[in-house]
Amino acid sequence: MDKKGFEPKILAFCCNWCAYAGADLAGVSRMQYPPNIRIIRVMCSGRVEPELVVKALSLGTDGVLVLGCHIGDCHYISGNHRTVKRMAILERILGYLGIDPARVKLEWVSAAEGARFAQVVSDFTSKIKELGPIPLQELRP
C-alpha cells in the first residue's frame, strides 16, 4: 500500500471514568479529530493487558492508543499504575520483535480534557501515517 493515500486503522482503549468521558466531551463540543480511531471502552486502563494490544496489532491495527486517568485520579486508585509499568515492558518487547514501539502509546486524558483527547488522537494519527501500515502481516508465514 502506498503511504500517501494511507488511512490507518487505530484502536483506542479508553477507560470508562476519564478518557471515555473525555472523548464524549470532545464529541459534544464538536471538536474535530481524525476518523481513523475506533474506541473500545474498558472500565480501567489497568484492564488493558498487553496481549490485547498485540492481538490488535496482529489483526492488522496500525496503532493502539491506551488512554486512562491521570496518575492519582484513577477511579480504582492504582489501576493506571499497572498500565504504566506494563506499557513500558510491552514497548521493549515490541522493539525486540522488530515492531516500532511508537505504534503503541499511553496517554492520560481526564473527563474535562476533550480538547486534549482530540489533540492526542490527531498527533497519534499523523505519527502512524508516517510509520505506514503495520508490517505484521509479513510475520505471518
State the Cα–Cα distance between residues 30 and 77, nearest whole angstrom. Answer: 31
Residue 63 binding other proteins, by CB under 8 A: no
Residue 92 binding other proteins, by CB under 8 A: yes
Residue 78 binding other proteins, by CB under 8 A: yes
Residue 132 binding other proteins, by CB under 8 A: no
State the Cα–Cα distance between residues 72 and 50, nearest whole angstrom. Answer: 22
Residue 86 binding other proteins, by CB under 8 A: yes
Q: Which is nearer to other proteins, 78 or 126 (CB)?
A: 78
Q: Which is nearer to other proteins, 90 or 120 (CB)?
A: 90
Q: What are the residues facing 64 on neighbouring strands?
A: 11, 104
DSSP string, 42-80: ES-GGG--HHHHHHHHHTT-SEEEEEEPPTT--TTSSHH
Residue 67 binding other proteins, by CB under 8 A: no
CB of 78 to other proteins, least distance (A): 4
Closest CA to 93 of 137, 57, 41, 132: 57
Q: Which is nearer to other proteins, 5 or 141 (CB)?
A: 141
State the Cα–Cα distance between residues 110 and 17, nearest whole angstrom. Answer: 8
Residues that bind other proteins (CB under 8 A): 50-51, 54-55, 58, 71, 78, 81-82, 84-86, 88-90, 92-93, 95-100, 135, 138-141
